[in-house]
Amino acid sequence: MLHNQQRMQALTVDLYSTPKAGKIPTMTQPSQSPISEDSISQLLEFSRQQYQAQVDSLRLPPTDMIKFNGDPLQYWKFMRLFTTMVDKESVAAEEKLTRLHQYTEGKARDAISHCLYNPDPSAGFKAALERLKTRFGNPHAISQAWVEKVLNFKEIRDNVQLRDFADQLRGCKDTLAAMKCEEDLSGRRTLVEIIGKLPSDLRAKWLNRNYDITKEGRLPKLDDVVSFVETEAEKRSDPVFGGIMSYKKQEKANNFLSPTKGSK
């Protein structure tokens, strides 16, 4: 018993006494798995990319924010810009609501002005977005607006107008595709009206294209018409040979109006 007490006292003295020269007391720590060099490299690379993305974003020129006046054709464009520039997690709801009101005008502003009086800015902002979507972002209203715009396009008289018509068709097609409403402009009567706006030589070429499509066992769709018009517009936009059709017409007119040197 005495021996055990003496041993405990000796251990206590050794524990609290100054360590002897050449002996460094060690403490046992829980073992930890070392972090691999690959993990560290990946973490550093990710941090570098995040930092570079922020720097590049600050260097970008300021984006011009359009104002939305309630035109259904501009709804998707406006919402894409607003979401990118304003509707972020780091922006307070009150600021979002204020900016949304600032970037609207006319019917669109009148539709959401009352949301500013909501005591809860977050609820007011959500209500304003929902009201804009209900009033001006209805897929049926947007598709009808596109149909009217395309069918009311002026008669195509030159290559510039053909290019403009192709761009308008592409905008229409992509917007309707995003809303899954392409069928609204793929009716046979509508496609006939679209083709009817093309010059006579392109209408004849479309007959051949339509024949090939029907031989595939299907009916032509809006995508077929858009691709056809874009291709023909691209051909006629060639800087060298783009105006060859006009040159031929002009040459025929000159031959018809002006007598040849050998004629009397």
| pLDDT tens sequence across 163-191 | 999 999 998 888 888 888 777 677 888 89
First CA to last CA across the chain, in angstroms?
A: 148
pLDDT at res. 140: 84
Taking only the tens place, the pLDDT of each residue in 218-230 is 999 989 999 999 9
Q: Which of 9-18, 41-50, 88-97, 235-244 has the highest mean predicted lDDT (pLDDT)?
A: 88-97
CA distance 90 to 87: 9
Q: What angle do CA 164, 168, 171 make, to 5 degrees?
A: 140
Q: Give the type of residue at 233.
A: A
Question: Please, what is the average pLDDT of the chain?
Answer: 79
Q: How confident is the model at residue 6 (pLDDT cuts 50, 70, 90)?
A: low
pLDDT at res. 109: 95
Work out the average pLDDT over 152-168: 90
Work out the average pLDDT over 1-5: 48
pLDDT at res. 250: 39
pLDDT at res. 245: 62
pLDDT at res. 247: 36
The beta-carbon contacts of 107-115 under 8 Å, at least 24 apart in sequence, are 107/69, 107/70, 107/135, 107/136, 108/68, 108/69, 108/70, 108/132, 108/135, 108/136, 111/70, 111/135, 111/136
pLDDT at res. 20: 52
DSSP class of residue 199 equals -
pLDDT at res. 62: 62
Judged against a pLDDT cut of 80, whether residue 252 lies above it is answered with no
Taking only the tens place, the pLDDT of each residue in 29-59 is 555 566 677 777 877 788 877 776 666 555 5
Residue 68, φ and ψ in degrees, nearest 5:
-100, 125
pLDDT at res. 115: 94
pLDDT at res. 237: 84
- pTM tops 0.75: no
pLDDT at res. 260: 45
